[in-house]
Chains A and B, each alone.
Chain A
């Protein structure tokens, strides 16, 4: 049976990885913006070609990192299923063991078919550095 500490570690690691992918996608989006905002007109063939390629690559990033890919949702679905198989409903188990997941993990879990009650989600407590 999974311990609460290992569950928390796993859910946080999954959350961190997903956030990192989203941040990488943000950076590619910024790259596209900085190219677009450059003083070089879009009619310039070099800029135009690069813009198309960056745009295409951005779509790939969004598909790979901003959405929840099958491998990720399968992993989370099996993790939550494992908890329920050995214990009780995931939300009851989280509540009874005082485990809270990150908002990002809660979203992935919902996409995997296991919605998390708001009570079991960290409220994004105040941190000075975001």
Chain B
């Protein structure tokens, strides 16, 4: 079930009528419950509004002050019957005059980032396991155990705060944003991390931005020491830039388009939302009418900057801005803050997302080739089994048994002999091997009317000899798996609520109780033949540091080495276990069996 208004709590400063006023405005926009429930001293509850007894200081001196004024009262409120018995809280918004952060050594920790992990102990700059998941999922109850969606609506004065809420009201139902997308992928930041972030932005520009169907304005790379800037925006709905960290209100020219989300990747944009002389981006963007924006209260490091791809993939797939932010945020208990309405949902012009379970054509062909080879391998095994039945009867010294059962056992064996086996598969294999030629006779491959060898070469595929031996047409040896070659493939699981880097252990046995172990293979000892599904249906060698846990739901694959080949048409048992490099934990085993189909 996706997040709804029922999962939201809005926090205000207890005893401050302006703060309550802003909270009530937000409640009215989303039709939240505001019925007074309880005054418990440190906190009070009015339906989905929670007042905490806090100071008006924007940045508290330390974690202790923050815990006393914000975290603990809020924890108590969430645990109270008025909330715990009524709703599951997935989203918390910190309102007007609620502290926006606290100092921790040289860092300023964002209140929203800390509150996102309200159910966990403070762990500065902890990895966000919901960040950039390889396969998109909407935020759900399981995710909420890890981190909550949080945002902040604060301003120098109550009128501005109420204006920000009003901006949110324009997006309370899915709103088609058809303004321009301004993207600035270049900055004057240098070093390997800066290059990686530029690569990230360029990947976004190449692969995700075109799917949004928006008019785009992008900057051009000039020189590594020159920060190319967007001079101004007009008619804009989205801005994603880095690094120039100060600007002015004149940057935002008039726009008749709905402004949805603004982000400038810099190091202190979110330091203050209450300073009227503020020239930092989040403050300017909110004043320009943006529904939401984000920024850092102190240096988040370049690795801590938001990633645009998961952000806009989430929006494209009808997630809220709060979800998009959380999925694009590398660290929690850290310096980044989302400002504005986390429940806003946007749409993009003339594009709709349709959920599909279709398999890519080449992956479909690969799977079919394995299916056909497995069918052949099982028939080969059945041929052997029926022959064994006949031989057992022949070997019997019981003449009566032999007389009674030899004829039907012989008939059964003949029905499953080599000739029968091959004739059963022949038609399937013919269809499979002629499919590429017919499907791609005019386009799609390096030549028209591709032969099976061309197809296998172009797609980097191999097939089983059990199939190729059925044909006169020669499939090149280069595209045939050696006899006994095998692979083991399983979906990567999310084993914990914490960020992990997974490696894998595979054990292979020829007994179903694993009393005999043929091989024990560990990716952390030698990742060479281990692969993970980095992009859908595209596998790469597992890095020596393991696979980040955001690849859970993707596949891991092991391909056997020559010395590990197994017997054709025999069934073997496999046990796979994930190993977390971070906590050095070997997780529970999963078992499966497979026939050797090569």
In the complex the two chains form, is A27's CB within 8 Å of B375's CB? Answer: yes
Cα distance A1–B404 in the bound complex, in angstroms: 12
In the complex the two chains form, is A81's CB within 8 Å of B404's CB? Answer: yes
In the complex the two chains form, is A129's CB within 8 Å of B431's CB? Answer: no
A56 to chain B, nearest CB (A): 8
Let me know if B573 is at the binding interface, CB within 8 A.
yes
Q: A9-B392, A24-B378, A28-B371 are in contact. Are A60 and B424 (CB under 8 A)?
A: yes
Binary B-proximity of A22-66 (CB < 8 A = 1, otherwise 0)? 011101101100110111100010110010011001001100110
Q: A39-B361, A50-B431, A129-B509 are in contact. Are A71 and B378 (CB under 8 A)?
A: no
In the complex the two chains form, is A31's CB within 8 Å of B371's CB? Answer: yes
Cα distance A55–B375 in the bound complex, in angstroms: 14
A122 to chain B, nearest CB (A): 13
What chain A residues lie within 8 Å of B364 (beta carbons)?
A: 34-35, 37-40
What chain A residues lie within 8 Å of B396 (beta carbons)?
A: 2, 6
CB contact between B378 and one of A21, A39, A53 (< 8 Å): that residue: A21
Binary A-proximity of B406-420 (CB < 8 A = 1, otherwise 0)? 001101100110000
What chain B residues lie within 8 Å of A57 (beta carbons)?
A: 424, 427-428
Residue of B nearest to A58 (CB): B428
B418 to chain A, nearest CB (A): 14
What chain B residues lie within 8 Å of A111 (beta carbons)?
A: none
Contacts of B493-529 to chain A: CB distance below 8 A? 509, 512-514
A62 to chain B, nearest CB (A): 12
Let me know if A89 is at the binding interface, CB within 8 A.
no
In the complex the two chains form, is B427's CB within 8 Å of A13's CB? Answer: no
What chain B residues lie within 8 Å of A64 (beta carbons)?
A: 415, 424
A13 to chain B, nearest CB (A): 5
Let me know if B401 is at the binding interface, CB within 8 A.
yes
What chain B residues lie within 8 Å of A21 (beta carbons)?
A: 378-379, 382, 416
In the complex the two chains form, is B595's CB within 8 Å of A78's CB? Answer: no
Cα distance A79–B409 in the bound complex, in angstroms: 10
Let me know if B574 is at the binding interface, CB within 8 A.
yes
CB contact between A71 and one of B358, B372, B408 (< 8 Å): that residue: B408
In the complex the two chains form, is A53's CB within 8 Å of B415's CB? Answer: no
In the complex the two chains form, is B372's CB within 8 Å of A27's CB? Answer: yes
Cα distance A71–B573 in the bound complex, in angstroms: 31
Q: Is the interface of B mostly helix, strand, loop or mixed?
A: helix
In the complex the two chains form, is A129's CB within 8 Å of B368's CB? Answer: no
Let me know if A95 is at the binding interface, CB within 8 A.
no
B421 to chain A, nearest CB (A): 9
In the complex the two chains form, is A71's CB within 8 Å of B412's CB? Answer: yes
Cα distance A65–B378 in the bound complex, in angstroms: 11
In the complex the two chains form, is A2's CB within 8 Å of B375's CB? Answer: no
Let me know if B145 is at the binding interface, CB within 8 A.
no
B411 to chain A, nearest CB (A): 4
What chain B residues lie within 8 Å of A129 (beta carbons)?
A: 509, 512-514, 573-575, 591-593
A46 to chain B, nearest CB (A): 4
Let me know if B393 is at the binding interface, CB within 8 A.
yes
In the complex the two chains form, is B591's CB within 8 Å of A10's CB? Answer: no
Residue of B nearest to A126 (CB): B513
A26 to chain B, nearest CB (A): 8
Q: A17-B389, A28-B428, A79-B405 are in contact. Are A39 and B575 (CB under 8 A)?
A: no
What chain B residues lie within 8 Å of A13 (beta carbons)?
A: 385, 388-389, 392
CB contact between A38 and one of B361, B392, B393, B438 (< 8 Å): that residue: B361
Q: What count of chain A residues pass the 8 Å CB interface test?
A: 51
Residue of A nearest to B440 (CB): A46
Residue of A nearest to B395 (CB): A6
Cα distance A24–B412 in the bound complex, in angstroms: 17
Q: A2-B396, A79-B405, A129-B574 are in contact. Are A24 and B379 (CB under 8 A)?
A: yes
In the complex the two chains form, is B386's CB within 8 Å of A24's CB? Answer: no
Let me know if B400 is at the binding interface, CB within 8 A.
yes
In the complex the two chains form, is A79's CB within 8 Å of B595's CB? Answer: no
What chain B residues lie within 8 Å of A25 (beta carbons)?
A: 375
Residue of B nearest to A15 (CB): B385
Binary B-proximity of A68-85 (CB < 8 A = 1, otherwise 0)? 010110110011011001
Let me know if A14 is at the binding interface, CB within 8 A.
yes
A129 to chain B, nearest CB (A): 3
A108 to chain B, nearest CB (A): 11
In the complex the two chains form, is B404's CB within 8 Å of A30's CB? Answer: no
Let me know if B435 is at the binding interface, CB within 8 A.
yes
In the complex the two chains form, is B412's CB within 8 Å of A34's CB? Answer: no
In the complex the two chains form, is A54's CB within 8 Å of B409's CB? Answer: no
CB contact between B379 and one of A6, A16, A20, A53 (< 8 Å): that residue: A20
What chain A residues lie within 8 Å of B593 (beta carbons)?
A: 129-130
In the complex the two chains form, is B404's CB within 8 Å of A14's CB? Answer: no
In the complex the two chains form, is B357's CB within 8 Å of A37's CB? Answer: yes
Q: A27-B378, A71-B412, A128-B512 are in contact. Are A2 and B372 (CB under 8 A)?
A: no
Residue of B nearest to A47 (CB): B439
In the complex the two chains form, is A39's CB within 8 Å of B358's CB? Answer: yes
CB contact between B358 and one of A2, A23, A37, A130 (< 8 Å): that residue: A37
What chain B residues lie within 8 Å of A61 (beta carbons)?
A: 375, 424
Cα distance A83–B4 in the bound complex, in angstroms: 69
CB contact between A54 and one of B388, B398, B431, B439 (< 8 Å): that residue: B431
Cα distance A24–B427 in the bound complex, in angstroms: 15
Cα distance A2–B368 in the bound complex, in angstroms: 44
CB contact between A53 and one of B356, B386, B431, B574 (< 8 Å): that residue: B431
What chain B residues lie within 8 Å of A75 (beta carbons)?
A: 389, 405, 408-409, 412
Q: A72-B412, A129-B512 are in contact. Are A34 and B385 (CB under 8 A)?
A: no
Let me know if B374 is at the binding interface, CB within 8 A.
yes
Let me know if A97 is at the binding interface, CB within 8 A.
no
B368 to chain A, nearest CB (A): 5
What chain B residues lie within 8 Å of A46 (beta carbons)?
A: 435, 438-439
Binding site for A on B (CB under 8 A): 356-361, 364-365, 367-368, 371-372, 374-376, 378-379, 381-382, 385-386, 388-389, 392-393, 396, 398, 400-401, 404-405, 408-409, 411-412, 415-416, 424, 427-428, 431, 435, 438-439, 509, 512-514, 573-575, 589, 591-593, 595
| Contacts A50-B435, A54-B431 supplied; 4 other A-B pairs, CB < 8 Å | A9-B392, A20-B379, A46-B438, A82-B405
CB<8 Å pairs between A and B, sample of 20:
A1-B398, A2-B396, A6-B398, A13-B388, A16-B381, A17-B389, A21-B379, A21-B416, A23-B374, A37-B359, A38-B361, A39-B356, A57-B424, A57-B428, A69-B412, A72-B408, A72-B412, A75-B412, A82-B400, A129-B593
Task: Report the 3 A-B pairs with minimum CB-CB distance, sorted nearest first.
Answer: A129-B573, A38-B364, A17-B385
